[in-house]
Structure formats: structure tokens, C-alpha cells
Structure 1
Amino acid sequence: MPFGEQPAYLRVADDLRQKILDGTLPPHTRLPSQARIRTEYGVSDTVALEARKVLMAEGYVEGRSGSGTYVRERPEPRRVARTGYQPSAGRCSPFRQEQGDEGFKGAWEAGSAQETAGPRVAERLRIQPGDRVMRTRYLFRTEGEPMMLSTSWEPLAVTGRTPVLLPEEGPLAGQGVVERMALLGLVVDNLTEEVGARPGLAEETAALGGVPGHIVLEIRRTFFSGGRPVETADVVFPADRYRAAYHLPVR
């Protein structure tokens, strides 16, 4: 194949994708059958099948059991504000604080459990694998719809046997890392976020109302106090429905 020339299945996928984007094939419309694709584009069954697989992997179409393949509805992605910590008056969770400018009506479900740190979490918290941590899993909703998952880990060497052992219980329940660590005399003075994209795990996409394998954005966030990590978290949301929007000061 000459350099720069696309395989046949990609050319077919490109044409079908363009028809989806320009509205020729609107949401909920049945995608042309494999036989019709073969006839219209003059390709083999294998090429037609591979083109459909490409569109499905990209999230443009979805299979419905016993019915066929249909164009998915793709709403305009909403912004997820990533503004960092901002002091605010009153009891305000970081989630509601960050989304306040968007007018989101945020709520969440959470559950915590103690566990031993695996190598990845231990490296991020600068502790030893096997050290005890508190893991908290969150499902965040806006206007009743699931929008974001978060799993956080805090070293029990920091929070163990303190009033803030459980992030969602105690005197500062739900107020976030900065306020909770301040109760322990620790000043959280910076955080890092690493942003990446990957196929969503079945458990994640099921919780978020998506399809296994569709792309999610993952933010790996770590809070520091004087260079010491006090919390690290994986934040996940569907890439086709949300965008991470950063508003950062210029120093």
C-alpha cells in the first residue's frame, strides 16, 4: 500500500463517520447493514465488518441485541472545572466548589475501607507497599446523572486514630483534604494532576452509564503538605461527555 493511502475499511469508516457528523445519519438511526455497506462501497464483507468495528470503538455507534447497530447520541461535552483549591466561606465540598461556576447541582455517594497499599499507590504516597491506607470510592452525580468516579487513598500514618480518619464522617465530613489536614496541623500547600486517556473498564463504564472500552479521561491527583503526599486519587469521567477545563493563575 502506498505511503499515506488508507486501508479500505478506514475509508469506509471515514465516510460513514462524516455522515453521522453532518446529520445524514442522525442519532438513533440504524447504521447500514453489512450487506448494504458491501454493496454501496464495493468492498468485501471483511472490510464492511471492520469499518463498523471502527465506528463502534470510537463511540459513534452502538449494538442493540437482536436489532442491529445504531448511531449513538453524542451531546456536546460539558466542562469539568479544575480550578484547584480556593478558600471559601462555610461548609463547602471541593466538588461543589469546583463546579459552582458551571451551575452544576452536585451530589455524591461514597464508601471507605482500610487496605494495604499496592506498589502504584505506595509510590504516589511515598510509603512502603503493604503500608495501611484508607481507600474511599466516590460516585459523583450532577442533576441526578452519574458524571465522575473518584478513588482516593490516604496514608493511615497521617490520619489513623484521628477525627478525620474517614473523609465522609467526623467533624469535617465532606469538606475535602485541605480542611481535614489542617485539623491535624498539616498545611496542604500544593497539588499535582496528571491527565491521560484510556479505555474505560467495564465496572467504570457501567457506573457512568457508558459502554465498556469507550475512552475515559483519568486525572491522577496528589495533595502535598511540605513535600509530603497526604492524599492521592484517580478521577475518571467519560471523554465523550466531559472535558477537563483548567483555570490557573499566571505567576
Structure 2
Amino acid sequence: MNLISNAKRQVILDTETTGMNQGAGPVFLGHRIIEIGCVEVVNRKLTGRHYHEYINPLQLIDEEAIEVHGITNEFVASKPKFSEIAQSFIEFIDGAEIVAHNASFDVSFMDHEFSLLNPQGPKTDSICQILDSLDIAKFLHPGQKNNLDALCKRYGIDNSRRDLHGALLDAEILADVYLVMTGGQTKFDLSSEKPGQEAGGIQRLDPNRSALKVIAASADELLKHEERLDLVAKSGQCIWRG
């Protein structure tokens, strides 16, 4: 049986901006994108392809934003304008499913940048599907912290390089978090062999062990299981359903 019917291309994306979107939206606040970072995933595997640009926003960056991402006005002064990189960016994301953490933030800024192009660019959702990894995290871990740092700690993902936010680094970390969070194994530890274990740390079962007691799932547990599969299926890669 072919568990994956066709190729699924996803772009794990993050942006950094001149200021924070605090409810009014970038159109009203006038903030701009200053960094875009993307990594490509096909059939739940990192391909090694990425897209990364720093951008001159043609305006000053808020001090509070600089404290978050460390990108200064002097640094971006010599970088290309969004209009100069727009076509290559659109070509990279076109037809893919964008995965972003708090996707409405990134997409609203992208839509704003596209709207300023001449001729006007597309709405993001007209060329891409959009999946918010924060919504998945909130569903799986209700009432808990679900920012990227908290998810890295929860899933044992190394983010020690993340002293400041950076779009490409955050996209790479989010790719690991997303794949683990939605059930995908991204790496296999072949160094943990011990007596009685197979490669990868898999424990051999004792052939003389007693039979295991089988406990059937309750109706409520089956319902929650189906809800979890519905969530995983949103990514198009639910291998537990035929």
C-alpha cells in the first residue's frame, strides 16, 4: 500500500520585521519585513533547499524589535528592497504549503509587502496553502506554553544557537519541531547500542516473557484518537489512515 499518495511540498517559514504587529496589523502600523527564512520539506523530509534574504525596509527599525532579533538599521541599509527579491521569493513558495508558527503574523506582513509591489503581487493564500504550527501545538498541549523555545524543550530539540531570533535559524528549528510534533522521525540514534539492544536503542523482547494484557480503548479514547488523526491529516501525511 502506498501510504503517501503524492508528493507533498512544504515550506517552513519565518520572518523578522521592523516592529511588532500589535493588533492593528502591518498595513496600519506601517511595519515591513527585514528578513525571510525558509526551509523546504518534501514528503516530511528536509531536502536541504532553503531561501534566505535580508531586506532593506526603507524605514527605521523599532528599538524593541532590534532587541528581539538583533538586526540593525546599519546592517540592512545595503540589502536589497523587497521589490528586488519578490519574484524569487514567490517562485520559492508558489504551490507549497507554508508552515509558520503564528502564521497570521507572517502572512499578514507578506500580504502587505505583496500589496506594495507594482504591479501588485498576489495574496499569499492564493498561491500557497497555510498551516499554523501554533494551532497544532495548542491542540496537543492545551494550557501550556507553546512558543518555539517551550516546544524545543518539550520535544528535546537543541536550540542552543538561538540567542536572538533569526528567520532562517527559527525556520530550521521550527522544521524539526513540526516534524516531531506531527509524528515524523527526523533522525535515528545509532550510537546507543547496549547489550540486549538493537541498533538505534531498540530493546529486544524476551521470548520467554508472559503474554501482555490487551486493554481495549474506550469510546472517549477512540474519539480523541480520531481527533488527533484529523489534525495530523491537515498536513496531508496521515499514514495511520489507509
TM-score (norm 2): 0.20
Give the structure with the higher percent helix.
Answer: 2
Greater length-normalized contact order (CA 8 Å, ≥ 6 residues apart): 2
Q: Mark the structure with the bigger radius of gyration.
A: 1
